[in-house]
Amino acid sequence: GENVEQHPSTLSVQEGDSAVIKCTYSDSASNYFPWYKQELGKRPQLIIDIRSNVGEKKDQRIAVTLNKTAKHFSLHITETQPEDSAVYFCAAKGSTGGFKTIFGAGTRLFVKA
Amino acid sequence: DVKVTQSSRYLVKRTGEKVFLECVQDMDHENMFWYRQDPGLGLRLIYFSYDVKMKEKGDIPEGYSVSREKKERFSLILESASTNQTSMYLCASSSWTGGRTNTEAFFGQGTRLTVV
């Protein structure tokens, strides 16, 4: 079945450094790739997304890149701040199999001040 | 502002009990989902629904059922709760714009269920 793998499971960076989280997906029909941030005790919320007809998207300090050939996509956070500390989930959604969104296992990001 | 509301933040139930988790969304979304969240396993899809009275199994439907009698409400039912169903349960909804366009999911605040 469809699968999304996410790495690393835990990431610790110094404030001001960059953080990169990588995901690979198995379903070549996937055409929508959202990223969610979940702060402690709160619900996951969308922070950025990318569609399969775009290779890169940027929103202030966060960016996402997509390589359809290799079936992987990445989240880049620059100039990290302590409030970026959270669990980040990547996801892939296709046009087949209903409207399922398949999530990665999550990355717990710690930003040390 | 999209609101997805789950009926309880915390629940404690006994093994064998029938448990209902309720989810309501106020944005007229067609799609609704139930996930469970466990450490190291991310969000795993239990069931989803793309229309009233329609339901589809996700990746881990065993031991669960769902009900969607009204568009805004999607219920998750644990027919006979077991300790391995202790988890955080998250409901989500999304709109369907037609064709092949996908949109983001909006999540509820979660229900932490403990089965003793």
Q: What is the pLDDT of residues B71-83, one digit of tens each?
A: 999 999 999 999 9
Distance, in Å, from the CA atom of A95 to the CA atom of A103, rounded to the nearest integer, reads 15
Q: Do A95 and B110 touch (CB under 8 A)?
A: no
Nearest to residue B75, comparing CAs of B20, B1, B16? B20
Q: Do A34 and B104 touch (CB under 8 A)?
A: yes
Check residue B101 and give its pLDDT.
Answer: 52
* Residues sharing a CB contact under 8 Å with residue A86, sequence separation 6 or more, in sequence order: A37, A38, A39, A40, A108, A109
Chain B: residue nearest A4 by CA? B42
Task: Assess contact for B33 and B105: CB atoms under 8 A.
Answer: yes
pLDDT digits (tens, 9 = 90+) for B29-65: 888 999 999 988 889 999 999 889 889 898 899 999 9
- Say yes or no: B61 contacts chain A, CB-CB below 8 A: no
- Return the higher-pLDDT residue of B113 and B101: B113
Q: Centre a 10 Å sphere on the Cβ of residue A2 and count the other Cβ atoms it contains.
A: 18
- Taking the CA of residue B2 and the nearest CA in chain A, the distance in Å comes to 11
Q: Which of B40, B41, B45 sits opposite A100 (nearest CB)?
A: B45
Q: Which of B43, B56, B104 sits opposite A89 (nearest CB)?
A: B43
- Return the higher-pLDDT residue of B76 and A30: B76
Q: Which residues of B touch A93 (CB under 8 A)?
A: 102
Distance, in Å, from the CA atom of A66 to the CA atom of B83, rounded to the nearest integer, reads 40
Q: Which residues pair with A20 in a beta bridge?
A: A76
Phi, psi at A58, each rounded to 5°: -130, 145
Q: Which residues pair with B75 in a beta bridge?
A: B22, B67
Q: Which of B41, B94, B96 sits opposite A105 (nearest CB)?
A: B41
